[in-house]
Structure 1
Amino acid sequence: MSDIETTDITPAADSIPGYLIGTWKADPAHSEIAFSVRQLMISKVRGRFTDYDVTLVTGEDPLGSSVTATIDLASIDTGNGPRDEHLRSADYLDVEKYPTMSYRSTGVRRTDDGWAVDGELTLHGVTRQVPLDVEVNGFSPDPFGGQRAGFSATARIDRRDFGIDISVPMDGGGIVVGDKVSISLEIQAVLQN
């Protein structure tokens, strides 16, 4: 039997077309870990991290699946060099002291809209529970004889919960950078042999 056999899987797995059991690694050329945050209370700044390692394990029962991720915080890219350097500084991410951010799932559950992954996010030396709303986009063979899987996920955190509490007030009220950070992941993962 192959590592990617789809027989003897649970009804939950049956509800995901093409579901395959195995260990998957995110393909950085076809994946993105991004964020957005309010700036000046009138618009959003968007950015992404370009260096990361994401591993997913799909179990016989999707509820037994897991994900781990490590993100190199120095790889932050908002499209503005001086802003990126400021975000790497001790004012925000403090990458010299805390070079990575990590995520480790603690469970998977069904929701009305699909799936959720419960897990622990460690950022800036602080670990907090952060659930991810997940959409399973599908499983498919690729042109190179391999197998791929696609997942979209979103979360929202408050940067102050992780000890990143710089607040530069504006003259008219509000702060320069918002506290709430929206996170989005588009992951295309490759089945490992």
Structure 2
Amino acid sequence: MSSATSIDIPGYVAGTWDIDQAHSEVGFVVRHLVVTKVRGRFANFSGTIVTAENPLESSVDVEIDLNSITTNQEQRDGHLRSADFFEVETYPTMTYKASGARQDGDKFVLDGELTLKGVTKVVPLTFELNGIGENPLAGGTVAGFSATATINRKDFNVNFEGVQNGIAIVSDKIEIHIEAEANLRQPEA
């Protein structure tokens, strides 16, 4: 592939970036009893972004600790860790790996592989580069990204079939929301 690109991204830098967990969030939204949305997040995750000379040839590699799920309700969090949902004793992590992006109108899409409960499927992650700049507090270069995706939990063997009064307790559709800040690695001296 050519290293030239017609995409103009102010401040763009090719290099390896580490996701800053303290300034990032991996979250989700799911319908509960059809009438409301429950939000949750994962407190522990790590990841690397490699920006290529051609931004569309960039890659992402993220690992999420499923034990770190929090929905602000401990009983529900324990149930989500159980075999009904994530089965964390057998499958403690979820991963997302992408090796290239594509432009879709004014948006960008990663067609990465999501692995959850031993199942790997391509999940398109629509993302936006929020900006690249210098960190005035810690020094170095930082970048910010927002991303969304929608999955069907049953595609990943998360098959809980709870029904209450004829109504599904948990919807099949899960919305994923990511806010990531990443720090550019400094070259080794």
Instruction: Please give the alpha-carbon distance, in whole angstroms, between the structure 1 residues aligned to 2:105 and 2:149.
Output: 16
2:159 match: secondary structure: coil
Counterpart residue number, 2:174: 181
Instruction: Please give the alpha-carbon distance, in whole angstroms, between the structure 1 residues aligned to 2:106 and 2:94.
Output: 28
1:98 match: secondary structure: coil
Q: 2:94 aligns with which of 101, 122, 125?
A: 101
Match status 1:52 vs 2:52:
no
Q: 1:11 aligns with which of 6, 10, 29?
A: 6
Q: 2:148 aligns with which of 151, 154, 167?
A: 154
Instruction: Please give the alpha-carbon distance, in whole angstroms, between the structure 1 residues aligned to 2:20 and 2:9.
Output: 21
Give the percent of matched residue pairs that are identical in Structure 1 and Structure 2: 51
* Structure 2 contact 57–99 (Cα < 8 Å) conserved: no
Counterpart residue number, 1:134: 127
Aligned AA (1:20): V
> Paired residues, what number?
183
Counterpart residue number, 1:3: none
- Structure 1: which 5+ residue stretches go unaligned? 1-7
Q: 2:160 aligns with which of 162, 166, 173?
A: 166
Alignment CA distance shift 1:149-1:9 (3 Å): farther
Counterpart residue number, 1:73: 66
2:167 match: secondary structure: coil
Aligned AA (2:135): D
Cα root mean square deviation, aligned: 1.1
CA offset at residue 95 of structure 1? 0.2
What are the superposed Cα offsets for residues 36-68 of structure 1, whole Å, 9 maximum, x if unpaired? 100011001000001001110000000110000
Instruction: Please give the alpha-carbon distance, in whole angstroms, between the structure 2 residues aligned to 1:150 and 1:9.
Output: 23
Instruction: Please give the alpha-carbon distance, in whole angstroms, between the structure 2 residues aligned to 1:88 and 1:113.
Output: 38
1:130 match: secondary structure: strand
- Structure 2: which 5+ residue stretches go unaligned? none
Q: 1:62 aligns with which of 55, 61, 65?
A: 55
Q: Name the TM-score, length of structure 2 as normaliser.
A: 0.94
Counterpart residue number, 1:91: 84
Counterpart residue number, 2:16: 23
